[in-house]
Amino acid sequence: MATITKTQSNTFKALIRKTGLPTQIKTFKTKADALKWARLIESEIDRGVFIDRTEAERTTIGELIERYIQEVTPLKRSARGDKQRMLFLKKHFGHYKASQLQSKHIATYRDKRIAEGKEGSTVIKEIGSLSHLIDISIKDWGIPLINNVATLVRKPKQAIGRDRRLKEGEEQILLQAARNSKAILLAPIISLAIETGMRLGELLSLEWINIDLRKQTALLPITKNGESRTVPLSKKAIETLKNIPCKLNDSRVFWTWKRPDSFENVWRRMLNKTEIQNLRFHDLRHEACSRFFERGFNIMETAHISGHKTLQQLKRYTHLKTEDIVDKMNAHGGF
């Protein structure tokens, strides 16, 4: 039977002792709340579904985030970005006890971020990080939470995927501007992106030891989805690689940039010197995948080159020209 006592600070302490279980103690503002909690705990004990929530009630989300940054973040390829995101989440949720965090708190955060003008994909990634934190806390660290409240929150809508492709003459303008740049590897990295569909991070981590010029392949040991991938290289890609100067103390092909953000700065400065508008480096991946299809590669072949895992993912990056499809239909005399 629970014992309810009034404290000197005019609160009510509920205490439950049960053989074989740790003593349960919790303080409430009113006696009614203390009795309600005691009845709930005793009912769970009687039904054999009781979970000791003590650790969840004394551990804050902020403490869990700090542990996550120490133990989990370093294992990720994007550790720097992950740490920044987790520290940002700590500012918003760090004060909550793990047992107090509810889906409504996360939903309020979601709505606030959207109101601030953040893209749905950004907010989804943030909530996904919070969800992963809770999963790790439950499964690996033994924090006694009934469920992962982040999974109960409705995801915001994502913006329609970009369909930016290179317009007529833009590739030549882009390459000429790159050649005029002080960055000697800017033109080669642009050419290779268009020829292979590699992501910027994959290109920056590409090493000479993983390139086989005879077999015309480039091995990417670690990619965005955590798997390795061997990318076939066209004749143009091979010629581009052969003309890239090596650096003795750096095994990477594109040794002039250590991080994507340093490359992006060079990319923006170059574009500002042209009339090309609204073009991101990642759009070159769109362009490459679209060209693969236009050259007659099927879905499996294109996915093998690009590393996309599903057709839905591939569709986000592939935008075929309708007029080309019409020409293909007419070439076969219609249906």
Catalytic-residue membership of 199? yes
The neighbour count for residue 97, using CB atoms within 10 Å, is 15
**Cβ pair 285, 317 in contact under 8 A:** yes
Dist CA 171 CA 228 (whole Å): 29
Active-site residue, from 53, 85, 199, 229:
199
Residue whose structure tokens are 């910027």: 200
Active-site residue, from 95, 179, 224, 321:
224
Buried b (16+ CB within 10 A) or exposed e, 227-252: eebebebeeebbebbeebeeeeeeeb
Active-site residue, from 85, 285, 286, 291:
285
Terminal CA-CA length for the chain? 80
C-alpha dihedral sign at 284, 266, 73, 156: negative
Catalytic-residue membership of 285? yes
Active-site residue, from 85, 110, 229, 317:
317
Catalytic-residue membership of 118? no
Dist CA 228 CA 217 (whole Å): 13
Active-site residue, from 247, 252, 282, 316:
282
| Tokens coding 155 | 């995801």
DSSP secondary structure letters along 85-139? HHHHHHHHHTTSBTTT--HHHHHHHHHHHHHTT--HHHHHHHHHHHHHHHHHHHH
Catalytic-residue membership of 224? yes
Return the active site residues.
199, 224, 282, 285, 308, 317
